[in-house]
Structure 1
Amino acid sequence: MKTLGAGTVLASFAGTPLLRNFAQAATTGASIESLRANAGRWIASTCQGCTSWCPVQLRVIGNHVVDVRGNPHSKANHGKICPRPHLAIQQMYDPDRIKMPMKRTNPKKGRGEDPGFVPISWDEAIGTIADKMMELRANDETHKYLFMRGRYSYLRDIIYSAMPKVFGSPNGISHSAICAEAEKFGPYYTEGFWDYRDYDLENTRYVLCWGADPLASNRQVPHAINVWSKVREQAGIAVIDPRLSATAAKADHWLPIIPGEDGALAVAIAHVILSAGLWSREFVGDFKDQQNRFIPGESVDETLFNEVHTHGVVKWWNLELKDRTPEWASERTGLPAEQIRKVAIEFASAAPRAISWLSPGAAMQARGGYSAMAAHALNGLVGSVDHLGGTLQKTKVVAEDIPDFSDYIDELAAKNGKQKKIDQRGRLEFPALKSGKSGGGVVTNNTADAILNEDPYDIKVAIACWSNFAFSCSGSDRWERALAKIPFFAHITTNASETTQFADIVLPAAHQIAEKWSFLKNKQNLHGYSSLTEPAVKPIWDVRQDETEIPWMLAEALAERGFDNLHRYYKNEFADPETGKKPSNGSEFALAAVKMLTRPCWDSSHADHGKYGDALQGWDEFAEKGVWNSKRYQTQEKWGHFKTATGKFEFYSETLKKALEGHAKKNGTNVDAVMAATNYLARGEQAFYPHFEPALRHGDAEQFPFIFFEHRSRLNREGRSANCTWYQEHKNADPGDENWDDVLKMNPVDAARLGLKNKDSVRVTSPSGAITVHLKLWEGVRPGTVAKCYGQGHWAYGRVAAADFKHHQPLGGNNNELLPAEYERLSGSTARHGGTTRVQVTKIA
């Protein structure tokens, strides 16, 4: 990193006037260390390189960010960071960033078409968008406006909720379902908690990782890195992953499972725990005569068991677990029965200080909802739910919501705002059962098909913000066609990504790390936190803050054209809490909004001030420290009143039963029909408890002999790192990967059979598409499978990310050109894990 900092990166900035002093310093022998030793100031911010959103500080010298570190005031991440925040500096100073608004001059849209972008003013860009939106109002078609959200802060509802609804559209579509909604499905339908969990790593005695890679690419990476040596000393570690991940390399057990068979392993572990008598008597309960009647293959009389804080453990045994032996699971998972039994006994013996760490790898599968339930149910069996050393929910993080905007919704907006959402959530085949509600979630990836089929209607105007669905969604070719079909599309972004190539107007976004006001909420290390981002430097280019300045400017333009509702809402309902001053421009609006929504953190007159955590004395202290910390999580307070239908931890989910029956009734059918429509095999009562479902795969095994699976990079900042030289130069930080390359990892046993050699150029073909990459022979992948990291394969985004940006030639291959548009439909999630597709691998002569 040191070498790159003084050489490659600074040289690339030599032509940028405001950074020329850095380049001169490099050529005259000055080092990064000497620059850092100069007078400077540390300004608080937040890293958004993953969903941990860690509090950080930026070293600013003059008007330049030169360094980043963890925020020492943060109790969540120990004042430490992982590698990702460092790449944010390269992202911010990327010479390939969009520097000014642009408009399209080539009406033809498609990969290979040059958009013919030319610079325009902000007034022209915003005015053009406003004109197109006003055409919708004139034609009573406001519902045909679509807003697509990617990465966001907690100022999101200004642009994501208020703007569409006041304008008159139901269509705010978030990226959530391509991220992890199926992961939340398991904990919700067992303990009533729809969110990511926290984990008491400091006190745990066992960590069972279901595809999770805490040291590299799962959530809470800085916290995990900081405490993992202690975890390694005091706890057993088992990692279930077909790839030898960074965490697996440091584990006691690596279980290279056949992708998509996590559910079989989870129910087999549950079988061992019960049959061995290792469940938690304190949490689950016991037989009345204290004799273990969980005998393999035999049913149990439910009346003989007294449950305490759980519901349906005996029913679960009778209906699912009694025959799910390790030997049975071994045939499906490809793991030795004795290893399954050993890990199960070790995990339960360490309980209740044990963690079954559910991740997207075991959940974001076509039939992953029940795998997610089964993996999380293990925490219930051993009593580690909401327990010291176990898996936890979250503390309260104080914040305000945006002001109510219902008074600004006119008759037209009220009528069209009730139209069906474009992603088809709530239909029979897409329950999207977020928090128990039919259609309560989002089906992000299905939006492309809905646009193409004009079902439930056509989309005429769309805006996307910090999202690149043409790259990041499986079946990405559908998104290219869908974006080309929309008559008018505007993209708010930092770089000209694949999605940008289809835009009519491009708006340059301020970079999140140092050019905008916002705040984030999250949790790590038994603390919740609210963390600020601040405009630490004046932007070099003519950019605007995406969630505040741009909607303000658009509201002004709409007002000039006769629709002032949105502008009146922003101007009248937002005010600086300290001065009472109402905003008169976009930058004042941004500051007023962040101060309003974070007011409980710093305003001593607020009812919640100091009640749940830090009692910061005034806005200036909050802005200086940059983070508000909650009180430390108190365990076992959820016992006895989980937010489920029974108030207990549910092995037989009455909560899911209620949700499925409600969805079936809404669609005029029964639960079995829902299961059939969602590609599940469960029928009858099986739909209401965690159970094994065989993996759903695309492709015939003879034609496509390898199961394809992907993994994440420890250097990838939400899929936006590929244009950073540091990312490419250090790609081998991901086990099995190569610097400045994109490789398909194959076990040498398979390669020898096919006559393939290391570094061969190969074509990887699935039923959905094909890519060309280099082959890497590596023993860290299970035979019969091939693995590839996600993040490469950009045909746009910049001169580093693409092999030839001008001619739309990718560097490597995009996994989403191989993966089909498949779903875990109960949650609405994209099924991007679990070996959803098979592939063939052929050498390119």
Structure 2
Amino acid sequence: MKLFQTLLNRRRFLQSSAAVGASAGAVTAGITGLTGLTLVEQARAQTPRGETVVTKNVCAQCPARCGIDVYTTDGSVHAIYGDTGNPIANGKLCPKGHLGSYFLYDPDRFKGPMKRTNPNKGRDEDPGFVPISWDEALDTVAERLNDLRRRGESHRFSMFYGRGWGASDAGMQGTFGQLYGTPNAAIGHSSMCADGSKKAKHATDGNNSYNSYDYRNTNYLLIIGASFLEAFRPYNNVMQMWGHMRSKSPKTRVTTVDVRMNPTMAASDRALYIKPGTDGAFALAIAHVILTEGLWDRDFVGDFTNPNLQFVAGRRVSPSVFNEKWVHGLADWWNEEVKDRTPEWAESVTSIKAADIRRTAVEFGSTRPAVALFERGATGHSNGTYNGMAIHSLNALVGSLFAEGGLGYQMGPSYGSLPADADDYLDDYARNGAWREQPRIDMKGTERWPMVGNMMQECAPNHLAGDPYKLDTAMFFYTNPIWSAPNPQVWEEALKDVFVIDTSPFPGETAMYADIVLPDSTYLERLQDIPTYPFEGWPMAALRVPAVEPIHDTKMYGDVIIELGKRIEGPTADYYRELDNIENVVRHLAAGFADDPGDNGVNDFETWREKGVWYKKPYQWRQIRGEFYEWDGQRYARQMSEEEVQQQLLKTPSGKFEFRSGYLEEHADYIEREMGIPRARAGLVQWVEPVHTGGDGDLHFVTPKTPLHAEGRGANIPHNIAIHQPIVGGRNTVYLEVHPQTAKERGIRNGDRVRITSDLGSIEAECRYVASHRADTLVLPFEYGHWAQGRWAKDRGPGNSSEITANVSDPISGLASYYTGKVRLERA
């Protein structure tokens, strides 16, 4: 306070001195011997900058979908804050949420549609892009697609996408594929993201989705390979909930299991280091203790017919003496798998001490409500689905499914119908054309990959082999597989003879192979709907409102699809003329809110635009002491029947949580063929040894995302670059994090340039000692290694970790095994 008064008094003194000097100019002008005194002009108020407009939008720096308020003055965006009316953001943002203007004003952005003039493609080839009009660009693409359709080869056109936001962008691709006639619209990047966790839940509780969580009421979190405080969705809200959980009474206790020290482990009550790929063994041992100690939730799981009976290690039980309630196959699971999975056994597999496993199990099993959550750290291996099933089984044992403080699944918004029904515009070719007999280029749904959702990583090698056929034309939205796919060198070769259409606003690696660039607008320039990713379960949909008109000659991706559709021969064009444009589409979606107004009063397009979000609380269903209830408008009062539970919540063949999965048993022959698991055991939640890639590599190699990872585009944001890896002092690069003992054994000093080698090749990086990691595990955060993407990203930092990551996948989920590779390390 004294400092403030001193500065204030000094300021007033100087102002007074200036005023006196100005009024006595003649006197001061005649004084000699005084230097440094000058007359000042009369003070004036700052010229108003103009009207400031605040628009509602949704951040696109990660999948969290936080609502944002965007401040624009005189047509320029100058500030972004969390929207106080958005339940995910709650007026807050994570560090990267404020960086949207970097995207908008990136000087390396594509300024408009372009065509390639250099027929040669490669890293060192200049595409020779020249600007063209939107009409020429869209006409060129449409003529190519129409020609394929005339020849009966429309299946050779594929649409690839990464982050889809809603019905008004990626959600339009499937309809386009049906009307045009291709099975390859669209192939998502989920097989290179997190399909392992979704498939694990599909196999056990019947929901092929991510979970929603009631963190506010959780009393125990068991976090396994999830990078909870770095990259778990929705990240901004997760940090807010962490503060609540760790300060409420009772305080939420947290045990974190991972292969490296990260912010989550550092902030947890217990940190357990696990050998990569052995997460399922740990979870089975936790289950073993919960059962032998009698800690399972009897209301949800069931109980013995005789209270004197119990689960005893190594001893079988008769299924007839256990009455199951909302689970299926528990006694069978115990007999065939869990009875021998003691903590001592798990210690030999995972390297976690048996005493720590037992202590964790007792805590988790005796605390209600408790949640076990996981992500790619546990599922990014050849055994990923079985690992995830074992972890998710813990949620069933403690009765957390659909319970207060537990986990559920996300409900969708009450959207209205589109302006036209696509089924009314299918011509004979769309209904009966030969394209319908063709498999997808990724072979999803065939004997090769019968259970997967997507297999984007297989498309390039399949194209090169001509199996099942060669692609002719490929369109990319929000994905850059030439950089992000495992073994992306194959994509570099594959796309040399494919007509490539790229829609990114930025010059990424895939864009450098483009024949036509149809640049998307950035998220601050788009109008589009944003249904929430799994959050708290109740339905929610935000709206992106353009903060400014596109500053370059760009179009929102949904409008590109509509304009392209208008150019396709036949009734397809009539359908897209009915849609007209994305604003018309969004207005029709919003019409559904009239019959189901949001809690904040949103009931049409205008109120949606004003508020930025529609939502309806609470979650519709709740499991209470082993019974399921539906919300009646005031409380969870209407008890659900078993049939309703199966239809709405536990969507398995049995209508229960399945420790012996009926879904996996349907594919038992495939599982036996691909994984060597006997048919009779294929459906069991079980321990399966991981198969590590990397030849003679002796160190595990993991490539986690950091909090500043901005959906693969963070490497070209200067502010991001400066603080990307703060724990080890990273500025302007990303260091390879190495345990000191591991480095010294190889003669590597802190700061040395090192070479990381797998059976695919080598990349280089700068070593940084991190004593808090496992000694057998190298950590290289995923962000840099670009040879394109913009002036700040190009050639910065270490090599691209994807280039030494083998393209192998979990046979069940199809998830690429990013975390299962082994490498060698040496001084460069």
What's the TM-score, normalizing by structure 2?
Answer: 0.88
Give the counterpart letter for 1:430 in structure 2: W
Matched residues in 2 for 1:35 and 1:76: separation? Answer: 37
Give the counterpart letter for 2:563 in structure 1: M
Match of 2:146 among 130, 134, 140: 134
What whole-Å deviation, never above 9, does each CA across 1:698-740 have from its counterpart, x for those lacking one?
A: 134xx3111111111111121111100111011134x446121
Corresponding residue of 1:828 = 814
Structure with higher Rg: it is 2
Matched residues in 1 for 2:309 and 2:214: separation? Answer: 30
Alignment check: 8 A CA contact 2:590 2:608 kept: no
Alignment check: 8 A CA contact 1:722 1:728 kept: yes
User: Is 1:269 aligned to residue 286 of structure 2?
Assistant: yes
Match of 1:107 among 116, 119, 122: 119
Give the counterpart letter for 1:843 in structure 2: R
Matched residues in 2 for 1:183 and 1:278: separation? Answer: 25
Corresponding residue of 2:426 = 409
Alignment check: 8 A CA contact 2:51 2:73 kept: yes
- Is the alpha carbon distance of 1:401 and 1:463 closer, same or farther for their aligned partners in structure 2, counting shifts above 3 Å? farther
Matched residues in 1 for 2:528 and 2:693: separation? Answer: 44
- Is the alpha carbon distance of 1:344 and 1:122 closer, same or farther for their aligned partners in structure 2, counting shifts above 3 Å? same
Alignment check: 8 A CA contact 2:63 2:163 kept: no
Q: Give secondary structure in 2 for the equivalent of 1:445.
A: helix
Q: CA deviation at 1:388?
A: 1.2
- Describe how 1:350-429 pairs up with structure 2 within 5 A: 350-351=367-368, 353-400=369-416, 402=418, 403-414=420-431, 415-418=433-436, 419-429=438-448
Corresponding residue of 2:657 = 649
Q: Give secondary structure in 1 for the equivalent of 2:298.
A: coil
User: Is 1:623 aligned to residue 640 of structure 2?
Assistant: no
Alignment check: 8 A CA contact 1:760 1:774 kept: yes
What's the TM-score, normalizing by structure 1?
Answer: 0.86
Alignment check: 8 A CA contact 2:706 2:725 kept: no
Corresponding residue of 2:671 = 675
Alignment check: 8 A CA contact 1:514 1:537 kept: yes
What whole-Å deviation, never above 9, does each CA across 1:519-539 have from its counterpart, x for those lacking one?
A: 333342454310001122022
Alignment check: 8 A CA contact 2:454 2:814 kept: yes
Alignment check: 8 A CA contact 1:283 1:308 kept: yes
User: Is 1:330 aligned to residue 314 of structure 2?
Assistant: no
Alignment check: 8 A CA contact 1:76 1:526 kept: no
Alignment check: 8 A CA contact 2:439 2:446 kept: no
- Is the alpha carbon distance of 1:104 and 1:652 closer, same or farther for their aligned partners in structure 2, counting shifts above 3 Å? same
Question: Structure 2: any 5+ residue segments left out of the alignment?
Answer: 1-45, 630-639
Corresponding residue of 2:804 = 818
Matched residues in 1 for 2:332 and 2:60: separation? Answer: 43
Give the counterpart letter for 1:683 in structure 2: P
Corresponding residue of 2:105 = 93
Give the counterpart letter for 2:145 in structure 1: M
Q: Give secondary structure in 2 for the equivalent of 1:829.
A: coil
Alignment check: 8 A CA contact 2:75 2:548 kept: yes
Alignment check: 8 A CA contact 2:381 2:809 kept: yes
**More divergent stretch after superposition (42-51 vs 313-322):** 42-51
What whole-Å deviation, never above 9, does each CA across 1:194-253 have from its counterpart, x for those lacking one?
A: 211111111111101111122221102222211212322411101111111111110011
Q: CA deviation at 1:508?
A: 1.5
- Is the alpha carbon distance of 1:344 and 1:39 closer, same or farther for their aligned partners in structure 2, counting shifts above 3 Å? farther
Give the counterpart letter for 1:787 in structure 2: V
Q: CA deviation at 1:157?
A: 5.4
- Describe how 1:486-565 pairs up with structure 2 within 5 A: 486=498, 488-548=499-559, 550-558=560-568, 563-565=569-571
Corresponding residue of 2:826 = 842
Matched residues in 1 for 2:204 and 2:603: separation? Answer: 40
Alignment check: 8 A CA contact 1:46 1:520 kept: no
Matched residues in 2 for 1:81 and 1:131: separation? Answer: 44
Q: CA deviation at 1:631?
A: 1.1
Corresponding residue of 2:215 = 201
Matched residues in 1 for 2:304 and 2:224: separation? Answer: 30
Match of 2:717 among 719, 724, 732: 724
Q: Give secondary structure in 2 for the equivalent of 1:153.
A: coil
Corresponding residue of 1:156 = 169
Matched residues in 2 for 1:514 and 1:730: separation? Answer: 27
What whole-Å deviation, never above 9, does each CA across 1:321-365 have from its counterpart, x for those lacking one?
A: 0111111111111111111111111111113x1010121221232
Alignment check: 8 A CA contact 2:511 2:517 kept: yes
Corresponding residue of 1:799 = 791
Corresponding residue of 1:17 = none
Matched residues in 2 for 1:571 and 1:520: separation? Answer: 25
Q: Give secondary structure in 1 for the equivalent of 2:229.
A: coil
User: Is 1:190 aligned to residue 172 of structure 2?
Assistant: no
Matched residues in 1 for 2:472 and 2:448: separation? Answer: 25
**More divergent stretch after superposition (172-181 vs 620-629):** 172-181
Q: Give secondary structure in 1 for the equivalent of 2:541.
A: strand
Alignment check: 8 A CA contact 1:142 1:413 kept: no
Alignment check: 8 A CA contact 2:213 2:537 kept: yes
**More divergent stretch after superposition (37-46 vs 316-325):** 37-46
Matched residues in 2 for 1:177 and 1:392: separation? Answer: 22
Give the counterpart letter for 2:364 in structure 1: F
CA RMSD of aligned residues (A): 2.0
Corresponding residue of 1:684 = 679
Q: Give secondary structure in 1 for the equivalent of 2:502.
A: strand
Alignment check: 8 A CA contact 2:530 2:543 kept: yes
User: Is 1:71 aligned to residue 83 of structure 2?
Assistant: yes
User: Is 1:214 aligned to residue 228 of structure 2?
Assistant: yes
Corresponding residue of 1:345 = 362
- Describe how 1:692-703 pairs up with structure 2 within 5 A: 692-700=687-695, 703=696
Give the counterpart letter for 2:714 in structure 1: S
Q: CA deviation at 1:775?
A: 0.8
Q: CA deviation at 1:77?
A: 3.5
- Is the alpha carbon distance of 1:215 and 1:416 closer, same or farther for their aligned partners in structure 2, counting shifts above 3 Å? same
Give the counterpart letter for 1:515 in structure 2: R
Give the counterpart letter for 2:720 in structure 1: Y
Q: CA deviation at 1:382?
A: 0.8
Matched residues in 2 for 1:529 and 1:76: separation? Answer: 10
Alignment check: 8 A CA contact 1:489 1:502 kept: yes
Give the counterpart letter for 2:112 in structure 1: M
**More divergent stretch after superposition (152-161 vs 379-388):** 152-161
Corresponding residue of 1:245 = 262
Alignment check: 8 A CA contact 1:87 1:721 kept: no
Corresponding residue of 1:594 = 586
Matched residues in 1 for 2:583 and 2:322: separation? Answer: 58
Alignment check: 8 A CA contact 2:526 2:546 kept: yes
**More divergent stretch after superposition (412-421 vs 781-790):** 412-421
Corresponding residue of 1:297 = 314
What whole-Å deviation, never above 9, does each CA across 1:783-820 have from its counterpart, x for those lacking one?
A: 111011111111100010112xxxxxx53221111111
**Identical positions, percent:** 32
Alignment check: 8 A CA contact 2:524 2:548 kept: no
Q: Give secondary structure in 2 for the equivalent of 1:508.
A: coil
Corresponding residue of 1:668 = none
Alignment check: 8 A CA contact 1:170 1:416 kept: no
Match of 1:58 among 70, 87, 104: 70
Q: CA deviation at 1:43?
A: 0.8
Give the counterpart letter for 1:237 in structure 2: V
- Describe how 1:773-788 pairs up with structure 2 within 5 A: 773-788=765-780
Q: CA deviation at 1:448?
A: 1.2
What whole-Å deviation, never above 9, does each CA across 1:155-210 have from its counterpart, x for those lacking one?
A: 23564112222112111111122111111111222112221111111111110111
Give the counterpart letter for 2:496 in structure 1: A
Q: CA deviation at 1:681?
A: 3.5
- Is the alpha carbon distance of 1:158 and 1:345 closer, same or farther for their aligned partners in structure 2, counting shifts above 3 Å? closer
- Is the alpha carbon distance of 1:458 and 1:717 closer, same or farther for their aligned partners in structure 2, counting shifts above 3 Å? same
Corresponding residue of 2:240 = 226
Alignment check: 8 A CA contact 1:268 1:324 kept: yes
Matched residues in 2 for 1:109 and 1:818: separation? Answer: 22
